[in-house]
Amino acid sequence: MSENKNNASIAGSLLLVVILWGGNNVGTKWLVGSWPPVWTGSVRFLLAGVILFAVLRFTRWLGLYQPLNRALLLQLWWRGGFSLAAYIVAFCWALHLTAASHVALYSARRQSGR
């Protein structure tokens, strides 16, 4: 019985994420119609970063907070931050130029290596 409850919880969580992510892409498509695409992406990820930082820092939902040393922090900014910034710009420009469903399909196709 516990396994069935766990499976239902996982399936429900995945369904919620898909709905929220799809709604988020459609909302972003609407925003890039009136805001500059790079500004839109920057604001979206800045707000998401602030929310995630608050969750990490002030709750234990993601584990205990442990400050990072300077070397690791620099690696995160240059490796992860730079590639994420490039992805944000490319995604928002793609949303500006085509439909949200096409961007998601092209992105999934590109990541699968086809």
In a domain, 99, yes or no: yes
pLDDT band at 2 (very low <50, low <70, confident <90, very high): low
Domain count, the chain: 1
Q: Is 113 left (phi over 0), alpha (psi -120 to 50) or beta?
A: left
At residue 74, the 3 state secondary structure works out as: helix
In a domain, 78, yes or no: yes
Domain range enclosing 107: 25-112
For residue 102, what pLDDT is reported?
79
In a domain, 19, yes or no: no
Which residue pairs from 98-103 have beta carbons closer than 8 angstroms and sit at least 24 positions apart in sequence?
99/29, 100/25, 100/26, 100/28, 100/29, 103/25
In a domain, 17, yes or no: no
Instruction: Select from 89, 107, 91 the least CA-distant residue to 29.
Output: 91
In a domain, 68, yes or no: yes
For residue 111, what pLDDT is reported?
58
Per-residue model confidence as pLDDT tens digits over 83-112: 888 888 888 888 888 887 777 777 666 655
In a domain, 46, yes or no: yes
